[in-house]
């Protein structure tokens, strides 16, 4: 059975009141689920539909449209490396390869110890400080292979 | 030479907070605005020639003038869904000067008679969103937001909303769909958002930089604001420069500034021993310019349009001779295919095919006829869809292939890049 913390439920109830349309609470609710569980499972959608009184189909419509919602489990350190043009020009794609090798994981998959997922993503708005990565919520810029590995290793989650 | 109007105090940490912002003249123009008639502010913005800084370059005052006078509540929405590859100026503005955005928004809201605004920030911008949120809290506490702002009798509430990863939400009707809690698919225009926008109500959607610029139009007056820029491209603009320059970053210069000066003076030029190959002057959707075309290019709406490209969001991607144009186009086509929202067939299918064809060439599996096929598919994607994403994918594809055709032909014939050291990278 899927569960959300009491404060999580309270947060979602407040979000339902916050905007002119209650549907606007779907994105914040999905973020909250992801914050507590790391991803949004089909069970979580059923749970949200129930407490928000919004059809599952409408929640799924939002969940599946936006790339920031994880529809399968990810590592505790979710590493997203920008590979759009300015970053590709400055070694973004090679950085993905290097990180995958360093943490012994394939792109988009979770490392055996459950710690790391490395994904190539589209532009993160950090083009002047390429290559860069986002680990969970934070940006790390002007990276090289060594500094990126070091940052991920040292990060406490 | 840089012309720091919006960014004058961006180097000061205190500028991020209410006290520091006020110390440098912050919120004085809001007080002045309240002494004016809203319609006079709209006229002033029109006369100043301010054009939307997010990409489309539509005259801001004209957009405001489209609002119907039907007594319905009006919304103001700030488009901070900065996603055009190459662009990172709105992020800087929100991180360094959140109160500048808030002040610009309150003035704009007053001018357009709106009592509720949202700042729609892309989901990845967690830190900038946090900075803006704290600034909004500060503004409420200081009576700059809420009821009867500074005793003016004007009420205004402001909130932020985080997106969740979708380039298409930077398109204003896609953004409004997303803000309404739906998938971010654009809507057919007309009706334009000014007539029927957020939840069917009249809505103005403006970019971060556009809203901030309103402050300086009031401060400097129409003539003062027009001191920078050209007749049709007035004022200054932030340019995000990235790629192969020594000092990438955001630079505020007058519109009409020579592109080569921006690259050579502000950005320290190219890396030693490298030659300029191409520049994408206005974000990834803007057709690429050859090095030759760059020589006399100036950074304004007209010049770049004349050259068949556009100023767009002001994202300048500088490419030296180490870049393979086939490889670069494969990166861009992957992006547009990934970001197409899927509702219009020419875009959904077209971006998919462009991506497949360019990648097959980059894998060394291309056929000569594929080069013309790219052009044919792209031509069929132009002007046939609800929003501009389809064109935004087609135009760069056409420009890359027609201006660097020899590289595409070489790749097909030899099965490898014409540029040394470039190999196919799986995305």
Task: Give the pLDDT confidence of A30-82 residue by residue, as tens digits.
Answer: 999 999 999 999 999 999 999 999 999 999 999 999 999 999 999 999 999 99
Chain B residues whose CB is inside 8 A of the A69 CB are 164-165
Q: What is the average pLDDT across A16-36?
A: 97
The residue out of B269, B288, B320 marking a domain boundary is B320
User: What is the nearest CA distance from A139 to chain B, expressed in angstroms?
Assistant: 9
Is the same domain home to B347 and B407?
Answer: yes
Residue among B164, B334, B417 with most chain A CBs within 10 A, to mutate? B164
Task: Give the pLDDT confidence of B46-58 residue by residue, as tens digits.
Answer: 999 999 999 999 9
What is the Cα–Cα distance from B344 to B338, expressed in whole angstroms?
14
Task: Give the pLDDT confidence of B171-204 residue by residue, as tens digits.
Answer: 999 999 999 999 999 999 999 999 999 999 999 9
Interface contact flag, A128 B250, Cβ < 8 Å: yes
Is the same domain home to B140 and B251?
Answer: no
Say if residue B312's pLDDT is above 90.
yes
Is the same domain home to B241 and B316?
Answer: yes
Identify the pLDDT of residue B426: 65
Q: Which of B122, B181, B323 faces A23 most closely, judged by CB atoms?
A: B181
Which residues are within 8 A (CB) of B277 and not within 5 positions of it... i.e. 6 or more apart?
B290, B291, B319, B320, B321, B323, B325
What is the Cα–Cα distance from B94 to B101, expressed in whole angstroms?
7
The residue out of B299, B320, B341 marking a domain boundary is B320
Is the same domain home to B36 and B136?
Answer: yes
Is the same domain home to B190 and B332?
Answer: no
Chain B residues whose CB is inside 8 A of the A124 CB are 124
Task: Give the pLDDT confidence of B60-94 residue by residue, as tens digits.
Answer: 999 999 999 999 999 999 999 999 999 999 999 99
Task: Give the pLDDT confidence of B102-153 residue by residue, as tens digits.
Answer: 999 999 999 999 999 999 999 999 999 999 999 999 999 999 999 999 999 9
User: Do residues B279 and B234 make contact, with C-beta atoms less than 8 angstroms apart?
Assistant: no
Q: What is the average pLDDT across A87-97?
A: 96
What is the Cα–Cα distance from B121 to A24, expressed in whole angstroms?
14
User: What is the nearest CA distance from A99 to chain B, expressed in angstroms?
Assistant: 15
Answer whether residue B176 is part of any domain: yes
Q: Which domain holds residue B339?
A: 325-414
Is the same domain home to B68 and B137?
Answer: yes
Give the per-residue SS3 of A66-124: CCCCCCCCCCCEEEEEECCHHHHHCCHHHHHHHHHHHCCCCCCCECCCCCEEEEEECCC
What is the Cα–Cα distance from B90 to B100, expressed in whole angstroms?
12
Answer whether residue B427 is part of any domain: no
Task: Give the pLDDT confidence of B386-425 residue by residue, as tens digits.
Answer: 999 999 999 999 999 999 999 999 999 999 999 988 888 7
B331 to chain A, any CB pair closer than 8 A? The answer is yes
Identify the CATH number of the domain in which residue B258 sits.
Answer: 3.10.20.600
Answer whether residue B426 is part of any domain: no
Is the same domain home to B208 and B241?
Answer: no
Q: What is the average pLDDT across B343-364?
A: 97
Answer whether residue B3 is part of any domain: no
Residue B277: helix, strand or coil by DSSP?
strand
Is the same domain home to B108 and B185?
Answer: yes
What are the structural domains, with CATH classification, of chain A?
6-65 (1.10.10), 77-154 (3.40.30.10)
Q: How many CB atoms lie within 10 A of CB B275?
A: 9
Is the same domain home to B97 and B49?
Answer: yes
Element housing B205 (H / E)? strand B203-207
Task: Give the pLDDT confidence of B355-390 residue by residue, as tens digits.
Answer: 999 999 999 999 999 999 999 999 999 999 999 999
User: Do residues B290 and B278 make contact, with C-beta atoms less than 8 angstroms apart?
Assistant: yes
Query: Chain centroid to CA B50: how far?
Result: 14
User: Do residues B216 and B103 make contact, with C-beta atoms less than 8 angstroms apart?
Assistant: no
Say if residue A129's pLDDT is above 70.
yes
Q: Which of A18, A66, A128 faces B165 most closely, judged by CB atoms?
A: A66
Interface contact flag, A127 B317, Cβ < 8 Å: yes
Identify the pLDDT of residue B421: 82
Element housing B136 (H / E)? helix B126-141
Is the same domain home to B312 and B400?
Answer: no
Identify the pLDDT of residue B1: 85
Report chain B's mean pLDDT, rounded to a whole number: 97
User: Do residues B229 and B273 make contact, with C-beta atoms less than 8 angstroms apart?
Assistant: no
For chain B, percent of residues with pLDDT exceeding 70: 100
Answer whether residue B8 is part of any domain: no
User: Do residues A70 and A78 make contact, with C-beta atoms less than 8 angstroms apart?
Assistant: yes
Is the same domain home to B209 and B276?
Answer: no
Identify the CATH number of the domain in which residue B107 sits.
Answer: 3.40.50.11540
Identify the pLDDT of residue B427: 58
B269 to chain A, any CB pair closer than 8 A? The answer is no
Say if residue B19's pLDDT is above 70.
yes
Q: Which of B116, B113, B124 shows the shortest CA–CA distance to B169?
A: B124
User: Do residues B409 and B415 make contact, with C-beta atoms less than 8 angstroms apart?
Assistant: no
Say if residue B42's pLDDT is above 70.
yes
Is the same domain home to B24 and B50?
Answer: yes
The residue out of B320, B352, B371 marking a domain boundary is B320
For chain B, percent of residues with pLDDT exceeding 90: 97
Distances (CA, A) of B137 to A31, A150, B82: 22, 36, 23
B367 to chain A, any CB pair closer than 8 A? The answer is no
Q: What is the ipTM of this complex?
A: 0.97
Identify the pLDDT of residue A1: 85
Q: How many CB atoms lie within 10 A of CB B292?
A: 10
User: What is the nearest CA distance from B54 to chain A, expressed in angstroms?
Assistant: 14
- Number of separate domains in chain B: 3
As a whole number of angstroms, the longest Cα–Cα distance in chain B is 73
Residues counted in chain B: 427
Q: What is the average pLDDT across A116-140?
A: 97
Query: Two tokens at B162?
Result: 């985080």
Cα dihedral: B94, A66, A141, A34 (round 10): 100
Q: What is the average pLDDT across A87-106?
A: 97
């Amino acid at each position: 059975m899927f569960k959300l913390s009491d404060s999580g439920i309270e947060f979602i109830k407040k979000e339902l009141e916050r905007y002119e349309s209650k549907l606007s609470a779907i994105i914040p609710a999905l973020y909250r689920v992801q914050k507590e569980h790391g991803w949004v499972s089909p069970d979580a959608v059923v749970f949200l539909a129930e407490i928000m009184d919004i059809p599952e189909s409408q929640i799924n419509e939002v969940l599946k449209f936006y790339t920031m919602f994880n529809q399968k489990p990810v590592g505790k350190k979710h590493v997203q490396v920008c590979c759009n043009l300015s970053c590709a020009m400055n070694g973004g794609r090679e950085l993905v390869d290097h990180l995958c090798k360093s943490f012994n994981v394939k792109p988009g998959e979770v490392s055996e110890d459950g710690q790391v997922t490395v994904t190539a993503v589209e532009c993160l708005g950090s083009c002047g400080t390429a290559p860069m990565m986002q680990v969970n919520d934070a940006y790390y810029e002007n990276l090289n292979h060594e500094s990126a590995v070091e940052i991920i290793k040292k990060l406490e989650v | 030479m840089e012309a720091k109007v919006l960014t004058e105090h961006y180097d000061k940490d205190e500028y991020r907070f209410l006290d520091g912002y006020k110390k440098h003249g912050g919120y004085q123009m809001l007080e002045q605005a309240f002494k004016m008639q809203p319609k006079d502010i709209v006229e002033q913005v029109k006369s100043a020639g301010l054009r939307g800084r997010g990409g489309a370059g539509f005259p801001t005052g004209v957009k405001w003038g489209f609002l119907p006078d039907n007594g319905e509540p009006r919304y103001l929405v700030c488009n901070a869904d900065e996603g055009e590859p190459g662009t990172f100026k709105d992020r800087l503005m929100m991180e360094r000067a959140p109160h500048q955005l808030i002040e610009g928004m309150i003035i704009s809201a007053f001018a357009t008679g709106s009592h509720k605004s949202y700042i729609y920030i892309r989901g990845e911008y967690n830190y900038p969103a946090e900075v803006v949120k704290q600034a909004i809290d500060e503004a409420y506490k200081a009576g700059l937001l809420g009821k009867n702002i500074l005793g003016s009798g004007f009420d205004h509430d402001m909130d932020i909303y985080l997106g969740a990863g979708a380039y298409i939400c930077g398109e204003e009707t896609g953004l409004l769909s997303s803000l309404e809690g739906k998938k971010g698919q654009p809507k057919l225009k007309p009706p334009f958002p000014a007539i029927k926008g957020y939840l069917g109500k009249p809505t103005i959607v403006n970019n971060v930089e556009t809203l901030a610029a309103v402050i300086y139009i009031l401060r400097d007056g129409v003539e003062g604001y027009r001191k920078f820029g050209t007749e049709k491209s007035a004022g200054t603009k932030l340019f995000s420069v990235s790629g192969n320059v020594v000092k990438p970053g955001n630079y505020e210069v007058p519109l009409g500034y020579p592109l080569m000066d921006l690259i050579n003076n502000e950005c320290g030029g190219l890396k030693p021993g490298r030659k300029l190959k191409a520049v994408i002057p206005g974000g990834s959707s803007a057709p690429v310019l050859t090095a030759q075309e760059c020589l006399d290019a100036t950074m304004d709406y007209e010049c770049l349009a004349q050259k068949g490209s556009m100023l767009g969001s002001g994202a300048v991607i500088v490419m030296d001779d180490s870049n393979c144009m086939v490889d670069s186009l494969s990166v861009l086509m992957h992006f547009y295919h990934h970001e197409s929202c899927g509702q219009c067939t020419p875009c959904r299918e077209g971006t998919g095919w462009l991506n497949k064809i360019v990648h097959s060439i980059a894998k060394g599996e291309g056929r000569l006829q594929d080069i013309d096929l790219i052009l044919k598919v792209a031509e069929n994607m132009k002007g046939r869809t609800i929003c501009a994403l389809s064109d935004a994918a087609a135009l760069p594809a056409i420009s890359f292939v027609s201006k660097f055709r020899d590289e595409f032909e070489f790749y097909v014939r030899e099965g490898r890049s014409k540029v040394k050291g470039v190999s196919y990278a799986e995305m």
